[in-house]
Chains A and B, each alone.
Chain A
Amino acid sequence: MKRFLPLLITFIVGFIVISSEFIPHKPFNSINAGLENWFMIISGFAIILGQLSLIKVNSSKIINKTQNWQYYLAGMVSFFVMVLCGVLWGTQDAPGLLGNGTLVSSWLGVKPFEYLFNNIYQHLSSTMFALLAFFIASAAYRAFIMRSFESNLLMIAAVIVMLGRTSIGTSFTAWLPQGWRFLHLPNIADFIVSFPTNAAQRAIMISAALGIVGSSLRILLGIERSYLGGGE
């Protein structure tokens, strides 16, 4: 029964959702609307679950003083400071438990949550993403080597697209006469992205979609049961 009931619920719910796509009339559409609302409510709770999981995983690492436990501590402190600022004084438009924190806000210029978000979180987050450029440059030097026909093709395409997507690349071939505009770097880059890349993307998307249909059917029919847990 412990396994049969979830499988039955999954089958019925899946059947209703699929049916509502093909029969957008009562009762399928109204049941589907209710299920959509349930999904959004459960998604909201999933955020809380995620936060609890974060606290649990990090605190156990801090308590057990695993390797680099100081970083986990820094993460936890940051998490609680942000949560506290949001809960106590609210965000830009919404007041918190202590109202709008006029005194603190007048000192900082904005509410504490906004101050931390704008001046710390935003810059740290952008920095992390920006660091990728340095690693890409280093990796390009080490790994982008001509070894075979395929790797040569990949590299030539990459160089053309990279140049075609920059302002400086445009100026390299800007002198070409109108009749030769198809050889203009941005045009070649657009061609590569619009045709060969697009064709490959479509193939990947169609394959992935077929895979999703297959695995969804396996779940609905109870063949795939790993989502129930228990290692079966």
Chain B
Amino acid sequence: MSDKQPPKQIDRRYIFLVLLIGVTIPLIFPLGFKSEVSGLSKQVYKLVEETPANSTVIISFDYDPATVTELQPMAKALIEHAWRKNQKILALALWPQGVQMAEQAFADIIKKYPDKKYGIDYVNLGYKTGGIVTIQAMGRDFKEIFPTDLKGTPYDEIEILKNVRNYNQIGYIMSLSAGDPGLKQYVMAAHDMFKVKVSGGTTAVSTPGFMPYINDQHQLYGLLGGLKGAAEYESLIGVKGTATSGMDAQSIAHILIIIFIIMGNIRAYKMRKL
């Protein structure tokens, strides 16, 4: 019998500490790694780019503050791009906290576009419960689902909504989705039933689940996946936002995790040798 001692496992507190330092340093001192833009992000960009000016588009805020790091930069970039193309934005939320996320995103971007007016260039219709059924019902009549906007202004008195009755008047739908209800429901109801163009962004962890929808039927027009997707979109529209600066930290975190995996395997190998 071998008298060798099995290698000790690293205390998880050290792992936490190394990761904390590894993530914090690039946030304070950006490393400036360059990121390549994927085809999926380019498709989303192309959709916004090719939608005519003065089109009315929907941005659905289907997330809460837990995923704000990944999805809020996407929201800001998409609003900015839509406004650059003079598109009019209907914001709505299938998640209750999405309303505040929309308010914050618009409040940030309006500083760069002070000429954009609420009710004319954008409107926040607020939260609506019901998930896929709400999306389906919107295909019939928007006014029935959103009789007023978030401020309580009646539908008919909102300039941007005067010519909007259902999806037929919508250029595209962007759903920023952290789960259910969200992008998947827009694909199933808005695209598959009403043939409206759907695209959006998700958290990195749920991105692979949406890949089957990127197909020849264009169920999804591209996809922004996680922080990298957001950073890619920022790069496409020429903006250095929070996603771009966060990518350095994420890169270091991924490298550290790979190092931990290697260390764990070396330890396991030594254990087997005993």
A binding-site residues for B, Cβ under 8 Å: 33, 36-37, 39-40, 43-44, 46-47, 91-94, 114, 117-118, 121-123, 125-126, 128-130, 133-134, 136-138, 140-147, 155, 159, 162-163, 165-171, 186, 190, 193-194, 197-198, 201-202, 205
Contacts and interface: CB of A to CB of B under 8 A. Distances in A.
A195 to B, nearest CB: 9
Contacts of A92: 100, 103, 150
Contacts of A141: 10, 15, 260-261, 263-264
29 contacts: A40-B130, A40-B133, A44-B129, A46-B129, A91-B99, A92-B100, A117-B100, A118-B100, A128-B66, A129-B69, A134-B19, A136-B257, A137-B253, A137-B257, A137-B260, A141-B10, A142-B264, A162-B257, A163-B254, A166-B250, A167-B33, A168-B254, A170-B35, A170-B36, A171-B33, A190-B38, A198-B211, A201-B209, A202-B212
Contact of B212 (A117, A122, A159, A205): A205
Interface string B1-44: 00000000110100110011001000000000111101100000
Given A33-B137, A162-B254, A93 B151 contact: yes
Given A36-B137, A43-B130, A155 B251 contact: no
A137 B254 contact: no
Given A122-B68, A166-B228, A137 B252 contact: no
B64 interface: yes
Contact of A138 (B12, B136, B231, B258): B12
A127 to B, nearest CB: 9
B114 interface: no
Contact of A40 (B67, B128, B257, B263): B128
Query: Among the interface residues A146, A165, A198, which one has the most CB atoms of the partner chain B within 10 A?
Result: A165
6 tightest Cβ-Cβ pairs between the two chains A and B? A167-B33, A166-B251, A125-B65, A122-B65, A141-B260, A168-B251
Chain A interface, DSSP helix/strand/loop, else mixed: helix
A40 B134 CA distance: 7
A146 B265 CA distance: 7
Given A47-B129, A138-B12, A142-B264, A37 B257 contact: no
Nearest to B268: A145
Contacts of A197: 208, 211
Interface of B: 9-10, 12, 15-16, 19-20, 23, 33-36, 38-39, 64-69, 97, 99-100, 103-104, 124, 128-131, 133-134, 136-137, 140, 144-145, 150-152, 204, 207-209, 211-212, 225-226, 228, 231, 247-248, 250-258, 260-261, 263-265, 268
Instruction: Describe B's contact surface by its main secondary structure.
Output: helix
Contacts of A205: 212
Given A166-B247, A167-B35, A198 B212 contact: yes
A130 B254 contact: no
Contacts, number: 162
B59 to A, nearest CB: 17
A108 B228 CA distance: 35
A48 B97 CA distance: 16
Contacts of B228: 165-166
Given A128-B66, A140-B257, A141-B264, 9 more contacts: A33-B137, A40-B129, A117-B97, A121-B65, A136-B257, A137-B253, A141-B15, A165-B254, A170-B34
A190 B66 CA distance: 27
Contacts of A171: 33-34
A187 B56 CA distance: 35
Contacts of A165: 204, 225-226, 228, 254
A168 B140 CA distance: 48
Contact of A37 (B69, B144, B247, B258): B144
A158 B52 CA distance: 40
